[in-house]
Structure 1
Amino acid sequence: MIALVLMLCAFAVGTSEFIVVGVLPEVSADLGVSLPSAGLLVTAYAVSVAVGGPVLTVLTGRLPRRPLLIGVMALAFVAAAVCALAPDYTVLMAARMLAALAQGLFFAVASQIAVAAVAPEKRTAAIAKIVNGVALSTVLGIPVGTLIGQNYGWRASFALVAVLTLIGLAGVALGAPKVAHEPDPGVRASLFAFGRKTVLLGLATTVLSFTGMITAFTYVAPALVEVSGFSPSWVTGVLLVYGLGTVVGSTIAGRVRTDAIMRVLPVTLGLLMLVLLATGFLLETRLTAVVALFGLGATAFVSGPLLHTFLMGQAGSAAGLVASVNISAFNVAAALGPMIGGAVIAGGFGVRWTAAAGALPTLLGVGVALVIGRLVRRGGAPVEERAEPAPVRA
């Protein structure tokens, strides 16, 4: 039950992040700001998640998990409501940054609750549910929110986010259990987790592998139109196939034992790299383009939950902080991917080959994952499988 509640919450906060992308022209016109200024609403959000999430995770480390998650979802609801009612650009920007702080802290706390509420062998499955909520927000929440915004105004899009976060808040208040979490080690001790080679290399793997995936996904809509020949009205429907792939991928990830993650991860990242390499050719026909999108979603969202679970297991009592920093690493990838794809297009290669360009950082991610696997085999069992100090009730 709690896994489904957390997936709904992840769906809500994931929709909150990118909902503004689809209604930027409407925001720009209504608030009287330029389109680039409106675009800063996306940039400021990403920066706030990347920086604010880890800071808040450290500052709230001693608080009980369940009440903290309730507070986070309440903050997300207030931020979405203020966005919907914002009288001007400044208030909207402030509310967006508030929502970003809620998101950054949400993933740290939700990850801790998810793994604490289940048996060790089900931790990957629990993390996969949260990741799947984010995936569904990109292919369902954002398109629906954009459609609502285009027909009823951009404020209606944020009203949708407010409703989703309110439902998530109710679910957490009614269904989140009290869970045990380790004593807060303090800031200095938490930072020691980042001295572990496996943690640092795992974060690097997140950046590299998801930079490759986002390089492809950022430009998939124009590629479907310009290369595959889909009409713009069909693009949203085709993207649902990508969403189906993410569901399949995260479901497969949930079946991987925690002690087998670093044997499986290089394989899944290698498959992601092959999908990226092949996408330029698969875009040639509509049928193979659909196959490519499914493969992209499935391989990326097998790898994501595996990485996140592994990192939390390696971090010990700093699991929440490492989970938050891993989300920051994903946001770094979200910034790098469009830049790489844009450079490919500017170089005259066209949108067809943006995915192939993304295969290079993913290949580097495969190499780093192989190094991590060797370190884990030399060092013995992951942190989460060793004897741990008695947890504190939250």
Structure 2
Amino acid sequence: MTQQMKAMPKGLIALALGGFGIGLTEFGIVGLLPEITADFDVSESVAGYLVSGYALSVAVGAIGLTAAVSRVERKRVLLGLVVLFIVGNLISAMAPTYAVMLTGRIVAALCHGAFFSVGAVVASNMVPENRKAGAISLMFAGLTVANVVGIPFGTFIGQQLGWRATFWVITAIGVITFFGIQLLVQRSPAPEAGSLRSEIGVLRRPQVLLSAMVSILTFGGLVGAYTYIAFTLTEISGFEAKAVPGLLLLFGVGTFIGNLLGGRLADRALDRSLQMILVVLIAVLSGFALMVTNALAALVAMFLLGAIGFATAPGLQLRIMHFAGDAPTVASGANIAALNIGNAFGTWLGGLAIAAGLGFVSPLWVGAGLATAALLVLMPSSAASRRVA
């Protein structure tokens, strides 16, 4: 893996740094919500809009903003999106009121989906055909590192220097990313001129829609189980609350390793590797649910859940781009939106299961069911694409 990273273009480092900054923007605020709630004198549920509002804006920007800039030279687009990222975090850092803070979060979120959408295309164009998923996984590595350190890093800085300091640090990361892209990323011409209508039309293709559905169901299963995992670990597995951050760190380390491994597997056999990973994900979720009272099994399952779940990410991104060859940027944005829709859908279903009195193990079974549905959609889709080929 180290040799593979050394052989990759240096421009991927700048893209990964951007992903890291965006990940910190998304996750770093979670541990600071109590301080922000007190500072702006709002309720906990209202403060939560700073997280949910961000997620909804990601989905909007992933398709809308990506489509709007699809005919612009891609390096210029990336630089413009980083400027949007910087401005959004500056607004948050200096926000005098809650409404201004929410505005800053929305501005920063709009660049999130579009950056990964355009960045995935730029990253894949930097390398030969047989290394495209690996390049995408390295760009997404920044986001997975933020999964590991985002909440503790943001919380530590905010608690030591005030919550605004976290956003100043993220703003500085944005500035470094801007110059990194300017210096290390080559110009990447946009596709030949075409109408926005034809660009959006790619989203009507059956294989593109099926790929998006697989993304929704896969990440719905993963995130639906993960969202309530702290309750599962403390109420069912018997861990103390103070042990939860360390267990979440296991999950985060798993996401980093799984993301890179998934990229390599997808480069070798895209659909076959996705099917294999989904089968293992179903087994991990089911096994976790069955052995949840065993502390050692829970430790192993937390790592595997992150590793296997995020091993799907590069392949899911590459698959939808593959079936939208003449409009990969918009399709890439559609996948980012699909992942975020899956996050919300899985979390909602897991919450319904708990509210129905099925207990804190039920989100794991919901996750296994959604992952099974993803596999059942992927298998005939793969068979159909082989027949066409």
After TM superposition, the score normalised by the length of structure 2 is: 0.92
Matches within 5 A, 1:63-82: 63-82=72-91
2:84 maps to a residue whose letter is L
2:147 maps to a residue whose letter is T
Matches within 5 A, 1:145-184: 145-184=154-193
Q: Per the alignment, in what secondary structure is the counterpart of residue 256 of structure 1?
A: helix
Structure 1: distance between partners of 2:66 and 2:84: 15
Structure 1: distance between partners of 2:152 and 2:358: 28
Partner of residue 125, structure 1: 134
Partner of residue 220, structure 2: 211
1:145 Cα deviation from its structure 2 partner: 0.7
Partner of residue 55, structure 2: 46
1:135 Cα deviation from its structure 2 partner: 2.1
Structure 2: distance between partners of 1:233 and 1:132: 28
Structure 2: distance between partners of 1:331 and 1:255: 24
Partner of residue 304, structure 1: 313
Structure 2: distance between partners of 1:365 and 1:328: 16
Q: Deviations over 1:156-184 (max 9, x none)?
A: 22223223222322321221122344224
2:125 maps to a residue whose letter is A
Structure 2: distance between partners of 1:229 and 1:169: 46
Partner of residue 338, structure 2: 329
1:286 Cα deviation from its structure 2 partner: 2.7
Number of equivalenced pairs: 380
Within the candidate set 354, 360, 363, 2:369 is matched to 360
Q: Deviations over 1:41-94 (max 9, x none)?
A: 222212211113311112112211112211211221121121011000111111
Structure 2: distance between partners of 1:48 and 1:205: 22
Q: Per the alignment, in what secondary structure is the counterpart of residue 254 of structure 1?
A: helix
The answer to whether the 8 A contact 1:50-1:331 is kept is yes
1:115 Cα deviation from its structure 2 partner: 0.7
Q: Per the alignment, in what secondary structure is the counterpart of residue 208 of structure 2?
A: helix
Within the candidate set 339, 342, 347, 2:351 is matched to 342
Structure 1: 5+ residue stretches without partners: 381-394
2:150 maps to a residue whose letter is G
Which moved further from structure 2: 198-207 or 8-17? Answer: 8-17
Q: Deviations over 1:319-358 (max 9, x none)?
A: 1111111111111112112212212222223223321221
Within the candidate set 187, 191, 210, 1:201 is matched to 210
Q: Deviations over 1:135-172 (max 9, x none)?
A: 22222112221233234332122223223222322321
Which moved further from structure 2: 225-234 or 356-365? Answer: 225-234
Matches within 5 A, 1:267-306: 267-306=276-315
Q: Deviations over 1:102-158 (max 9, x none)?
A: 112111211111011111111000111223322222221122212332343321222
The answer to whether the 8 A contact 2:90-2:167 is kept is yes
Structure 2: distance between partners of 1:197 and 1:67: 31
Partner of residue 388, structure 1: none
The answer to whether the 8 A contact 1:184-1:317 is kept is no
Partner of residue 257, structure 2: 248
The answer to whether the 8 A contact 1:61-1:184 is kept is no
Assess, with a 3 A threshold, how the Cα gap between structure 1 residues 105 and 184 changes in structure 2: closer, same or farther: farther
Structure 2: distance between partners of 1:247 and 1:178: 28
1:282 maps to a residue whose letter is M
Structure 1: distance between partners of 2:33 and 2:193: 41
The answer to whether the 8 A contact 1:185-1:318 is kept is no
Structure 1: distance between partners of 2:266 and 2:373: 24
Partner of residue 387, structure 1: none
Structure 2: 5+ residue stretches without partners: 1-9
Within the candidate set 324, 329, 342, 1:315 is matched to 324
Which moved further from structure 2: 274-283 or 144-153? Answer: 144-153
Percent identical pairs in the alignment equals 36
Q: Please tell me whether residue 225 in structure 1 is matched to residue 234 in structure 2.
A: yes
Partner of residue 104, structure 1: 113
1:258 Cα deviation from its structure 2 partner: 4.4
Partner of residue 4, structure 2: none
Partner of residue 261, structure 1: 270
Within the candidate set 357, 380, 386, 1:371 is matched to 380
2:36 maps to a residue whose letter is V
Partner of residue 192, structure 1: 201
2:355 maps to a residue whose letter is A
The answer to whether the 8 A contact 2:71-2:191 is kept is no
Q: Please tell me whether residue 235 in structure 1 is matched to residue 235 in structure 2.
A: no
Structure 2: distance between partners of 1:281 and 1:8: 39
Q: Per the alignment, in what secondary structure is the counterpart of residue 265 of structure 2?
A: coil
Q: Per the alignment, in what secondary structure is the counterpart of residue 237 of structure 2?
A: coil
Assess, with a 3 A threshold, how the Cα gap between structure 1 residues 22 and 257 changes in structure 2: closer, same or farther: closer
